[in-house]
Amino acid sequence: MSDHGPVADVNALRGSAADVDLVIVGAGFAGLYMLHRARGLGLTARVFEAGTDVGGTWYWNRYPGARCDTESVEYSYSFDHDLQQEWEWSERYATQPEILRYASHVADRFELRRDITFSTRVVSARFGEASTTWSITTDAGETVAARFVVLATGSLSSTNRPDIDGLDGYTGRVLHTGEWPHEPVSFTGERVAVIGTGSSGIQSIPLIAEQAERLTVFQRTPNYAIPAHNRPLDPDDVAAIKARYDEFRAANRRMTAAFGSRLPGNDVPTLAVDDEERRTMLDRRWEHGGLPFLGAFNDILLDPAANEVVAEYVRDRIRSIVDDPAVADALAPTNRIGCKRLCVDTDYYATFNRSNVELVDVNDEPIERFTTTGIVVGGVEREFDSVVLATGFDAMTGSVLKIDIRGRDGCELREVWAHGPRTYLGLQVPGFPNLFTVNGPGSPSVLTNMIVSIEHHVDWISDALAHLDRSGAGSIEATVEATDHWVSIVNAIADFTIFPSCNSWYLGANVPGKPRQFMPFLGFPAYTDQVADITADAYRGFEFHPVHPDTG
Ligand code: FAD
Ligand code: NAP
């Protein structure tokens, strides 16, 4: 359990040059909890948030159909007993507006907004060796000196806008799912294009199709989607979970992806059972719905042969839903299932049976260009009133690298990560003392229920800050050796899996020019066990430096 007790005001003792102890960048679930923990430690903190309010992902992604695909009783904070007992989720998978209300409720409940500066983007952070402080500059021209910086900037918060010829000259409405307007958007009577068939496209396409006069979906890579079977929550089920919430959370923390303890993975290889038994197991998971589908057998993400059998099961399902065999074939993915993030859908494939929906395959023949009124593929122009870019994110590193971060001796993070991100435990980068990432590359992050990972990282950072101040040290910094070793472990684990086999955003492959490197660490319990072991072993791989003589 974390130490929530206040630490001595070392700032005052040292006569530090810092304005605050901590600058936190971002007011999503990571930034909010970091602020709460910092206050509990008696540290002063300021949060800068580019948006006009809290919520992060759930503030920005307001597209039709946006909702969680981690079950709502699990996708929520566990740190406060009363909060988790009192908050009522309404559906198995919460909608974006409901999650945003939850984030806002948390901000109110813990009076967080008073330390958050909204509509303000952090543009640079520079480490001053002599003062052991970070100088953080915002786009409003403010500069703040802080002892510590926490980058709670989000893994999926930097939108990926495709570089397609003519896009800027297109005169219709252009919307990105990750920067959706706050006012209601109507597609009624419109000719609409959606580019992209990842989770955001798959969630929004059925609802846009219901409104639009005509919807054209431009698909580069088809994706696997498992039905959500969303439904209102049963009050008796919720009461049963709340009666043993801590136990439930603890069980989920021991799951590979930090969720789903009520339907654990089936610890049997796919090909160890006969066809009938395999079909029964896959049917059961399909009817259960959602991400636990990949837990039907224990080798789906490891053995290409096993993966293919399971992938073919989903392709069969697609063929049975979609009326036109040519459209069904085009929608059936050929890459390995799970290699790109599995999607969770409500009526996605069935939407292609509607007479007002057209699928355009842009894999072999990419989108040529935009005209002022439409999109050209294969020499054919289609005209649109609105274009929805469901084209995803510069994931995991995008928002961090948008900030000009310079550490010890002026070293630039953009240069240090030029060939791919390098972190120790996804928490720190050598050369950047007292700077932390939450859910950074090299940690389980996007392969987990991310609120669980956020709480783990924020608790670790808080404990490290308390430890640092109790020990009288001035800074904590990952070593180069520990980081090199950690990066090799992350890559070695990925190489045992099917993950490197497709062009996913996990590998940075969705952003032209981004170095190809598998970024997340696979396996939440293995990760947290290692972090616990390292911490107990006097923070092995981290160096604690004394307070600089000029400061102390
Ligand atoms: P974010 O919520 O991304 O917040 C980061 C904040 O930092 C943003 O508000 C951003 O504006 C701000 N910021 C970034 N850079 C700067 C800067 N330089 N200056 C100032 N502010 C800055 N995860 C799951 O576990 N389950 C799900 O079902 C799930 N569904 C998702 C659905 C969608 C549509 C998306 C996009 C992501 C989903 N995720 C899901 C992942 C989701 O991002 C995390 O669960 C979680 O919300 C991340 O919280 P965060 O605070 O780390 O980051
Ligand atoms: P994404 O998974 O990266 O999908 C982007 C889509 O746009 C892909 O189909 C991609 O094709 C396509 N695309 C990109 N550039 C293109 C171009 N120039 N021409 C044609 N197609 C192009 O992004 P996302 O759907 O926003 O999801 C990102 C992540 O956010 C998810 O994986 C998930 O982690 C999270 N998320 C979760 C939910 C949820 O259900 N809870 C919902 C939304 C998002 P290629 O595949 O060929 O690159």
Give the largest Cα separation in the chain, rounded: 74
Any residues with CB less than 8 A from the CB of 343 and at least 6 apart, and which?
69, 198, 199, 202, 203, 223, 224, 225, 226
Helix residue ranges per DSSP H, 228-351: 235-243, 245-253, 275-288, 304-321, 325-331, 348-351
| Residue located via tokens 């040292």 | 14
Is 358 found in the same domain as 278?
yes
| Total tally of structural domains belonging to the chain | 2
d(CA 73, CA 75): 6
With pLDDT > 70 as the criterion, what percentage of the chain qualifies?
96
Q: Whose CA is nearest to atom 22 of ligand 2?
A: 196
The CATH number of whichever domain residue 114 belongs to comes to 3.50.50.60
- Answer with the one of 353, 374, 389 that is the final residue of a domain: 389
- Reported as a single tens digit per residue, the pLDDT across 196-255 is 999 999 999 999 999 999 999 999 999 999 999 999 999 999 999 999 999 999 999 999
The H or E element that residue 248 is part of is helix 245-253
pLDDT of 547: 81
* pLDDT confidence band for 16 (50 / 70 / 90): low
pLDDT in tens, 500-541: 999 999 999 999 999 999 999 999 999 999 999 999 999 999
The ligand placed nearest to the CA atom of residue 445 is: 1
CA distance linking residue 542 with residue 467, whole number of Å: 12
Cα 448 off chain centre by: 9
Query: Percent of the chain scored above 90 by pLDDT?
Result: 95
DSSP bridge pairs for 370: 375
Distance CA 442, CA 427 (A): 8
Expressed in angstroms and rounded, the spacing between residue 35 Cα and the centre of ligand 2 is: 31
Classify residue 230: in a domain, yes or no.
yes
Q: How confident is the model at residue 11 (pLDDT cuts 50, 70, 90)?
A: very low
Q: How confident is the model at residue 2 (pLDDT cuts 50, 70, 90)?
A: very low
Please say which residue of 334, 357, 389 terminates a domain.
389
User: 541 by DSSP, 3-state: which?
Assistant: coil
Inter-helix orientation angle 29-40/450-471, to 10°: 30
Name the residue with the closest Cα to ligand 2, atom 17.
162
258, 252 in Cβ contact below 8 A? yes
Q: Which of 397, 418, 540 is nearest to 479 (CA)?
A: 540
List beta partners, residue 195.
218, 389
Q: Encode pLDDT of 279-294 as tens digits.
A: 999 999 999 999 999 9
For 268-300, give one letter per residue: b (16+ CB within 10 A) or e.
eebeeeeeeebeebbeebbebbbbbbbbbbbbb
pLDDT tens digit string along 124-143? 999 999 899 999 999 999 99
Inside any domain, residue 296? yes
User: Do 335 and 352 fall into the same domain?
Assistant: yes
**Token pair for residue 162?**
């495709």
Which residue, of 336, 369, 389, is where some domain finishes?
389
DSSP 417-479: TTTS---BTTTB-TT-TTEEESS-TTSSGGGS-HHHHHHHHHHHHHHHHHHHHHHTEEEEEE-
Q: Is 2 part of any domain? A: no
Tell me 290's DSSP state: S
Same domain, 365 and 416: no
Cβ pair 174, 390 in contact under 8 A: no
**pLDDT mean across residues, the chain:** 95
Residues 471 and 337 in one domain: no
Mutational pocket test of ligand 2: of 199, 221, 393, 453, the residue with most ligand atoms within 8 Å of the beta carbon: 199
Residue 1 in any domain: the answer is no
CB of 41 closer than 8 Å to CB of 465: yes
pTM: 0.96
126 shares its domain with 198: no
Beta pairing, strands 122-128 & 386-389 = unpaired
Strand order in the sheet with 173-176: 173-176, 386-389, 191-195, 214-219, 357-361
Count other C-beta atoms under 10 Å from residue 15's C-beta: 8
Q: Which ligand is nearest to the CA of 57?
A: 1
State the pLDDT at residue 288: 97
Q: What is the predicted pLDDT for the residue at 17? A: 77
The answer to whether residues 374 and 455 belong to one domain is no
Q: What's the mean pLDDT in 388-395?
A: 98
pLDDT on residue 549: 59
4 falls in which pLDDT band (50, 70, 90)? very low
User: Mean pLDDT across the stretch 456-479?
Assistant: 96
Same domain (yes/no): 100, 199: no
pLDDT digits (tens, 9 = 90+) for 53-70: 999 999 999 999 999 999
Burial of 130 (0-12, 13-18, 19+ CB in 10 A): exposed
Calpha distance 43→35 (Å, rounded): 9
Residues 134 and 35 in one domain: yes
pLDDT tier, 550 (very low <50, low <70, confident <90, very high otherwise): low
Show the ligand 2 pocket: residues with CB < 6 angstroms.
68-69, 156, 162, 164, 177, 195-201, 203, 218, 220-221, 341, 344, 362, 367, 390-393, 446, 505, 510
Do 252 and 352 lie in one domain? The reply is yes
Same domain, 372 and 453: no
Q: Is 451 a member of any domain? A: yes
Euclidean distance between CA atoms 54 and 30, whole angstroms: 11
Amino acid at position 275, single letter? D
Chain mean position to CA 290? 17
Nearest to 135 by CA among 402, 405, 398, 438: 405
Which residue's CA is the nearest one to ligand 2's atom 6? Answer: 196
**Cross-strand bridge partners of residue 136:** 125, 144
Start-to-end Cα distance in the chain: 31
Residue 179 lies inside a defined structural domain of this protein: yes
pLDDT digits (tens, 9 = 90+) for 407-444: 999 999 999 999 999 999 999 999 999 999 999 999 99
According to DSSP, the residues that pair with 127 across neighbouring strands are 134
Examine the pLDDT at 551 and tell me if it is beyond 90: no
Domain membership of residue 374 (yes or no) is yes
Task: Confirm whether 491 is domain-assigned.
Answer: yes
Q: Which of 100, 153, 230 to mutate to test the pocket of ligand 1 (most atoms within 8 A of CB)?
A: 153
- Size of the chain, expressed as the number of residues it contains: 552
Same-domain check for residues 184 and 75: no
> Strand pairing of 173-176 and 191-195?
unpaired
The amino acid that residue 25 corresponds to is V
What residues make up the domain containing 275? 167-389
Confidence of residue 15 (pLDDT cuts 50, 70, 90): very low
Residues 412 and 364 in one domain: no
